[in-house]
């Protein structure tokens, strides 16, 4: 573990700093070497100036910049920076005079060479400052994205916890309806409900599942509803296109199916219907449900149920900008059309 920490610090901190200061020595050593026609001497001189530049750069990015970000005192921060750059440049000038065995006087310190050194220091400090600002901005963006992702995951989990009780409530209604009829199919219905609950609880915990699993869930639910309604409800379920290797959020399509049966089986026998169509292409999943409704149901605005509101929020989270949802509530039928780009 300690070795990993050391390796990470070496690659993320030491090496970038090493390359940055190597750039300084090579860049200014080459410029001054070409100008003075003595590369060896000016490379050595740049190397000697390195500690001064490092003091200026690190004091700026680890001292003055954090001070400004915390206190938000711009004028004071600028004052500290000016004083720092002046003192560092003065130190460089004195060191160079000593290195060349030249006298150190007020007149010899402040001149054209002092300005060159000040510009050189400013240049490297500005680069270090810009790198630090960009790095800090990227870190903030990463933290923001991580927080947004965490918030979305939290909201998604909350929506799932709302969906499971809603599903359980509807399936228990199915069981209750079968028991009222004292049907011999009650035991079969209990077995199918148990299978559905097992699927929902243990196979729908991931962000996305295979589309085949979602289809199996819909198939099992339709079998349960056929037990309940028998010939009183005209049920059609059609799947076209390849479904292998395609993913969908768990219970995303199922919720629309459940809603169709909830509102589609209350008309007179022969008039009630539920039609479900699923079509897949290489880039899209197209899903459509259509069910009959009575005038009384239409007035209750069946599109306002918990399940549909829940699934719309999940679509916004998981497929933002990649889906199209149309819900039509007419006098005699309720229709949902969903297209998801994959």
pLDDT in tens, 116-144: 889 989 989 999 999 999 988 888 888 87
Class of domain 229-341: alpha beta
pLDDT digits (tens, 9 = 90+) for 241-292: 999 889 998 888 988 998 888 776 665 566 789 999 999 998 999 999 999 8
Instruction: In the chain, list all ranges with CATH 3.30.565.10.
Output: 229-341
CA angle 291, 298, 314 (to 5 degrees): 65
CA distance 151 to 194: 33
Residue whose pair of structure tokens reads 């780009």 in the numeric block: 341
**87 neighbors 53 (Cβ within 8 angstroms):** no
CB neighbourhood size of 189 (10 A): 21
- Going by pLDDT thresholds of 50, 70 and 90, the confidence category of residue 303 is very low
CA distance 153 to 139: 21
Residue 230 DSSP label: G
pTM (predicted TM-score): 0.55
Out of 59-63, 177-181, 241-245, 254-258, which region has the weakest mean confidence (pLDDT)?
177-181
pLDDT digits (tens, 9 = 90+) for 189-200: 777 777 777 777
Average pLDDT of the residues in 290-317: 71
Instruction: Kindly report the three-state secondary structure assignment for every residue of 167-229.
Output: HHHHHHHHHHHHHHCCCCCHHHHHHHHHHHHHHHHHCCCCCCEEHHHHHHHHHHHHHHHHHHH
């Amino acid at each position: 573990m300690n070795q990993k920490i050391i390796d990470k610090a070496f690659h993320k901190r030491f090496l970038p700093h090493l390359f940055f200061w190597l750039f300084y020595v090579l860049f200014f050593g080459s410029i001054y070497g070409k100008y003075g026609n003595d590369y060896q001497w000016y490379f050595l001189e740049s190397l000697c100036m390195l500690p001064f530049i490092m003091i200026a750069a690190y004091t700026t990015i680890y001292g003055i910049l954090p001070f400004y970000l915390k206190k938000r005192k711009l004028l004071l921060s600028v004052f500290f920076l000016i004083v720092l750059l002046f003192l560092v440049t003065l130190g460089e000038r004195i060191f160079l005079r000593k290195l060349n065995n030249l006298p150190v006087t007020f007149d010899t310190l402040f001149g054209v060479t002092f300005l060159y050194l000040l510009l050189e220091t400013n240049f490297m400090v500005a680069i270090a400052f810009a790198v630090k600002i960009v790095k800090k901005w990227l870190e903030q963006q990463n933290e923001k994205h991580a927080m947004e992702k965490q918030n979305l995951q939290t909201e998604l989990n909350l929506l799932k916890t709302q969906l499971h009780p809603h599903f359980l409530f509807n399936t228990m209604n199915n069981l209750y309806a079968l028991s009222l009829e004292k049907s011999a199919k009650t035991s079969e219905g209990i077995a199918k409900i148990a299978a559905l609950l097992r699927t929902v609880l243990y196979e729908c915990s991931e962000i996305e599942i295979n589309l085949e699993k979602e289809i199996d869930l819909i198939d099992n639910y339709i079998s349960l509803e056929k037990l309940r309604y028998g010939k009183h409800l005209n049920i059609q379920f059609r799947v076209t296109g390849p479904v292998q290797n395609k993913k969908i959020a768990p219970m995303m399509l199922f919720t629309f199916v459940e809603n169709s049966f909830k509102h589609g089986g209350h008309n007179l026998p022969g008039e009630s219907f539920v039609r479900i169509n699923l079509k897949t292409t290489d880039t899209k999943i197209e899903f459509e449900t259509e069910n009959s409704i009575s005038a009384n149901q239409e007035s209750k605005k069946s599109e306002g149920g918990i399940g549909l509101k829940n699934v719309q929020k999940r679509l916004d989270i998981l497929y933002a900008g990649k889906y199209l949802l149309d819900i039509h509530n007419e006098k005699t039928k309720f229709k949902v059309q969903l297209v998801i780009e994959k």
